[in-house]
A and B are shown apart, each in its own frame.
Chain A
Amino acid sequence: MTEACVGFTRVLRGAGLQCGPDRVQAYLQATAHVDLYWAGRLTLCADPDDLPRYDAAYRAYFGGTPPRPRTTIELDSVTVGVAASDVEVLRHKDISEFNAAPLLARLKPLPPRRRSRRLRKARRGRMDLARTVRAMIEIGGEIALPRHRRRGVKARRLVLLIDVSGSMAAYSDALLRFAHVIAHAMPVEVRTIGTRLTRVTRQLKERDPERALRAAGRAIPDYEGGTRLGEALRRFNQQWRQRGAVVVLFSDGWERGDPTLLAAEMARLRRVSHQVIWANPHAGKSGYRPVQQGVLAALPHVDRMVAGHSVHALEELLKEVRNA
């Protein structure tokens, strides 16, 4: 029985759940108290995203129907690779035309900042009663110079929304790599947009870029399909309840859905965000004019429209983000 359970956790790990040894131990302990399904679900899952995968694995491994079956969709991603050479030229070259991975890996992203609510030791600011009294006790109750503390600086939340529809196909691989680099430099939330919204934050936490990208590709059911920016943003706005983030939307603005919905959702996104930046790969090309329906609808609700077609443009974008 124990062996069967341990085997099951191996299957779950393959499905992307994080079942470390302590979780497995808790699972085995739990089977003594409640049935197999619930023992595993309560100890081995840690996120609502885990639940459908757990259910599927349970069905496949133990057979029978879990109390609440759901389905998952899997698709493979396509990765294209070309050899890189001269760095300076390549920095300005369009990332859809060569393999930018080595250059992207060299970027050093820094997070946007905000004032923290947590008070830290400081030379000026409000009085720090705890440290002042401690100092007074140390010198036997004499009056000590007051110590101070003040609010520190903290990384501001960053959100990347990446359009992976057909019209962005040439860029989506490089942009996901870019997101992977950022994900390993600061806390970031990454979602892809196509006909639907997919969360790939957890997939990108994997250190190895190739494996992270493969995992993200498997998670995205609508790679190179159509775009419903408005619908997807609507989903995002429903799910995302954090205020004050910096949001970067990578898209060319080709919208198949209703542009008025896109405008309304962009407005809503901007109301809860610190800054909304639109990175458009076409905006860096000469002769570009914002005429696509989606761009026209969204533009009034964007703080900044920047290019996003070359490594250099992405470096510039990182500067904008840092100073947002």
Chain B
Amino acid sequence: MESPEELASGLDRAGYLPDGGIATAAFLAVAMGRPLFLEGEPGTGKTSLALALAKSMDVPLIRLQCHEGIDATQALYDWDYPRQLMHLRVLETRGEVDEASLYTRRFLLARPLLQALESAPCVLLVDEIDRADDEFEAFLLEVLSENAVSIPEFGEIRASTPPLTVLTSNRTREVHDALKRRCLYHWLEHPSLEREVAILRRTLPGLDERLAQQVAEAVRKMRGLDLMKPPGVAESLDWARALQALGRTEPDASTLGAVLKYREDADRVIGSTIVG
């Protein structure tokens, strides 16, 4: 890849329409071999960017969904204890107990981070890092900065080529600066009107152009309404899909449930003149 534009057209072919900022950020992440840290409102396309990157570069995507209490045995590696025990029994009957043979690669279960190191080149998506806790950040940091893990009983496993790592955060919690410092930081905004229309038409091929325009315009106005949960691109896609499924020719109030998830928000939108 020579330029952000080239990367953008690759993403475009993979079904993701990036703006200049997103393309530049992703290009730089590839060029510098640095993880890309994506923040933004829910539904601005953070996760789907990682999916599209993997698709456009034709490499596997390895996804790690974070949650509170996630630890090394869920994210990195774990030993296959039942198999180790069975093997131990076999060794015993032969009378040749050798501890080292219990800690070989075949008893090691690769979790997403280790999988990513072993199957590089690939895209590693660490999704919703803000849901994990600080203990997790600490060892993620180690893996990301070294592109390797060292397993006390086994040794070091190093990636032949570092995976392209994408981290996403919804900002429910401030992620530690030590982690951010090793990444490129990009804040995703809601797309412009033209881009949103293009995204709708791109993702839903049968969608009428006028309807796409109307949906995008209505969603854009909703975002200006100071709602409890302003709709993202994911919601406008859902809405367009719902209207399409019902064979509607323009947005109407009966389908608002696809875009707005709070009663107060729906009341507010119905009270305005956005939908008929």
Contact = CB atoms under 8 A, between A and B. Distances in A.
29 contacts: A33-B32, A34-B4, A38-B25, A42-B24, A42-B184, A45-B185, A45-B187, A46-B177, A46-B185, A47-B185, A67-B21, A116-B69, A117-B68, A118-B133, A119-B71, A129-B81, A130-B73, A133-B79, A133-B85, A136-B88, A137-B88, A141-B88, A141-B97, A201-B174, A234-B226, A237-B228, A238-B229, A241-B172, A242-B172
A238 B172 CA distance: 11
Contacts of B184: 26, 30, 42-43
A137 B99 contact: yes
A225 to B, nearest CB: 20
B85 A38 contact: no
A152 to B, nearest CB: 10
Interface stretch (A15-23, A177-185, A280-288, A307-315): A15-23
A42 B183 CA distance: 9
Contacts of B25: 38, 42
Contacts of A79: none
Contacts of A46: 177, 180-181, 185
B81 A42 contact: no
B239 interface: no
A315 B70 CA distance: 35
Given A38-B28, A48-B39, 4 more contacts: A35-B24, A67-B21, A118-B69, A118-B135
Interface in B93-110: 97, 99, 102
B187 A51 contact: yes
Contacts of B181: 20, 22-23, 46
Contacts of B21: 38, 67
Contact of A33 (B28, B133, B172, B180): B28
Given A30-B32, A48-B39, A118-B133, A42 B84 contact: no
Contacts of A154: 133
Nearest to A33: B31
Nearest to B84: A133
Q: What 10 pairs between A and B have smallest CB-CB spacing?
A: A117-B69, A118-B69, A42-B184, A133-B81, A241-B172, A141-B88, A33-B31, A46-B180, A117-B68, A38-B24
Nearest to B81: A133
A209 B69 CA distance: 34
Interface string B51-93: 0000000000000000111010100001101001100110110
A29 interface: yes
Nearest to A242: B172
Contacts of B174: 201
A201 B68 CA distance: 23
Interface in A22-69: 22-23, 26, 29-30, 33-35, 38-39, 42-43, 45-48, 51, 67
Contacts of A81: none
Interface string A118-142: 1100000000011001001100110
Nearest to A118: B69
Contacts of A35: 24
B241 interface: no
B20 interface: yes
Contacts of A133: 79, 81, 84-85
Contacts of B68: 116-118
B155 to A, nearest CB: 17
Given A133-B84, A241-B172, A242-B173, A34 B27 contact: yes
Contacts of A33: 27-28, 31-32
B28 A42 contact: yes
B14 to A, nearest CB: 21
A242 B91 CA distance: 51
Contacts of A116: 68-69, 133
Nearest to B78: A130
B34 interface: yes
